[in-house]
Copies of this chain bind each other. A is one copy, B any other.
Amino acid sequence: MATGGIRRLLIANRGEIAVRIIRACRELAIETVAVYSDADAEAPHVRAADRAVHLGAAPARESYLDAAKVIAAALASGADAVHPGYGFLSERAHFAGACEDAGLVFVGPPSASLERMGSKIGARRLMVEAGVPVVPGEAPADQSDASLAAAIGRVGFPALIKPSAGGGGIGMKIVRTAGEAVDALAAARREAKASFGDSTLYVERLIERPRHVEIQVFADSHGNVVHLFERECSAQRRHQKMVEESPCPALSATVRQAMGQAAIAAARAVDYRNAGTCEFLLEGEGESAKFYFLEMNTRLQVEHPVTECVVGVDLVHAQLAVAAGAPLPFTQESLSQRGHAIECRIYAEDPAQGFIPQAGPILLYREPQGPGIRVDSGVTTGSVVSVHYDPMLAKLIVWAASREAARQKALAALREFAVLGIRTNIPFMIQLLQHQQFVAARIDTGFLDREGPAIAAASVQELPAAALAAVAEHRRLGASSTPGTLGALGPDPFVSLGGWRG
């Protein structure tokens, strides 16, 4: 794959995505420059890189979010290109622009595309103009009952009335038939006025129990735009994705094709370049399913490996080639889906305590291995999970010929994935992948918010005798080798049981 001019790449990120990009560069004989904060001096991404530049203190705004420092690091290390990864500066148009100004190749879309997709209102208007379906909605200038009722009729039923100034569900009313509109409008107006001091109302189509389905797109600087099919990402908690898979079992070939074309139209509408993702809400399933554009993520996604496994491409290789000016390494006709991939995001969080993020040292870490198993990670034994960054430690990605085989492979791999020292969502994930709704592929975006606590509770199990025996031996060995550390132990070491749980 031609990666032309790029000889030395600075990766303006940390964790698993930095490691993954460094690995891609090794295959392409591109030198790598890592950047790091005070908290990450010994992090795997820093150790893996050919060069490393210290940015600043642990808080991201003093390190990974400081565009000036990152660009200075790139220039000082002789890098000719910058890969922003995801998060941090990846979708900041000013950063892409600053790279362009400094003569650095930005591995992503041009700053102008980022600006156009960065404004939610502007992006929605552009999509409507490009013929991409969006959730019907409007805030009529005439806020009379008659005008709002007419707007409700236009957006369709069931409709949702919500305060234009609002948020958090306050003042939101569902209208299922035209007859319910007048009462609902009055109630919404009262609550909006009381809570926000502004009674302006917005009406939109209510998408009930939608799925989150997104389309990977890729564009080069030679006018080629392709889509790489979908990822199903409905298993999310408070908009934080937990499990992604592809193909989406709810898509018919016709709807898949239509979504792919819509995503290509969206990319063309903003003169997009490099890898991007169009997120859609999907209503219903099969031939009758409808989809609505949500937003475009103008970067590599966390869940890009799912597409890589199913479509058989390397998106980071392609990003580097396209950024260097090469044409896309694939055509639409050459792309197809094969088998099924599932990604499980491994978070440092405690599902039993409301998914509260966990920080601290990882005392023991071992990844699963085997055919069809891929782990992208940014930690190892001895890593300290910092409070300053995202709690995602790793991604487990499995591929198999069918969804059920992939699910079984993911379960087997999760049972081999050992992380000690901080709580993770692995035990929770094992329950989730066995949940009847997951097995049946009937997950909507509200599923985890509704069922998460019950799944967390179900993952508490009795402690097996084998585990107790191993702990006893561990303590005995510790007592003989370092007797000093056991002074505080009482006669019965198992007095307090922290719990066998997720």
> Known contacts being A329-B401, A338-B312, is A27 close to B408, with CB within 8 Å?
yes
Contact with B along A371-393 (1 / 0, CB 8 A): 11011100000000000000000
Whether a CB of chain B sits under 8 angstroms from the CB of A308 is yes
Whether a CB of chain B sits under 8 angstroms from the CB of A409 is yes
Contact A401 B23 (CB under 8 A): no
Q: A284-334: which residues lie under 8 A (CB-CB) from chain B? A: 305, 308, 312-314, 317, 329-330
> Known contacts being A20-B371, A374-B371, is A412 close to B313, with CB within 8 Å?
no
A305→B412 CA distance, assembly (Å): 19
CB distance from A389 to the nearest CB of B (A): 22
Whether a CB of chain B sits under 8 angstroms from the CB of A463 is no
Give the size of the chain A interface in residues (CB under 8 angstroms): 34
Whether a CB of chain B sits under 8 angstroms from the CB of A5 is no
A23, A314, A408, A412 — most chain B CB neighbours (10 Å):
A23
Contact A23 B370 (CB under 8 A): yes
Residue of B with least CB distance to A310: B312
Residue of B with least CB distance to A370: B23
Copy number in the complex reads 2
A329→B369 CA distance, assembly (Å): 24
Q: Which B residues are CB-close (under 8 A) to A371?
A: 20, 23-24, 305, 308, 314, 374, 376
Residue of B with least CB distance to A415: B26
Contact A313 B27 (CB under 8 A): no
Whether a CB of chain B sits under 8 angstroms from the CB of A400 is yes
Whether a CB of chain B sits under 8 angstroms from the CB of A139 is no
Q: Which of B314, B376, B411 contacts A405 (CB 8 A)?
A: B314
A312→B399 CA distance, assembly (Å): 9
Contact with B along A1-32 (1 / 0, CB 8 A): 10000000000000000001001101111000
Whether a CB of chain B sits under 8 angstroms from the CB of A339 is yes
Contact B372 A314 (CB under 8 A): yes
Contact with B along A157-196 (1 / 0, CB 8 A): 0000000000000000000000000000000000000000
A20→B317 CA distance, assembly (Å): 30
Residue of B with least CB distance to A1: B405
Q: A332-380: which residues lie under 8 A (CB-CB) from chain B? A: 338-339, 369-372, 374-376
Q: Which B residues are CB-close (under 8 A) to A312?
A: 338-339, 401
A88→B88 CA distance, assembly (Å): 55
Residue of B with least CB distance to A338: B312
Contact with B along A411-432 (1 / 0, CB 8 A): 1100110000000000000000
A160→B44 CA distance, assembly (Å): 59
Residue of B with least CB distance to A304: B371
Q: Which 5 A-B pairs have the closest CB atoms?
A: A23-B370, A26-B412, A27-B412, A27-B408, A27-B409
24 sample A-B contacts, Cβ–Cβ < 8 Å, listed by A number: A1-B405, A20-B370, A20-B371, A23-B369, A23-B371, A24-B371, A26-B412, A27-B405, A27-B408, A27-B409, A27-B411, A27-B412, A28-B408, A305-B371, A312-B338, A312-B339, A312-B401, A313-B401, A314-B371, A314-B405, A317-B405, A369-B375, A371-B374, A371-B376
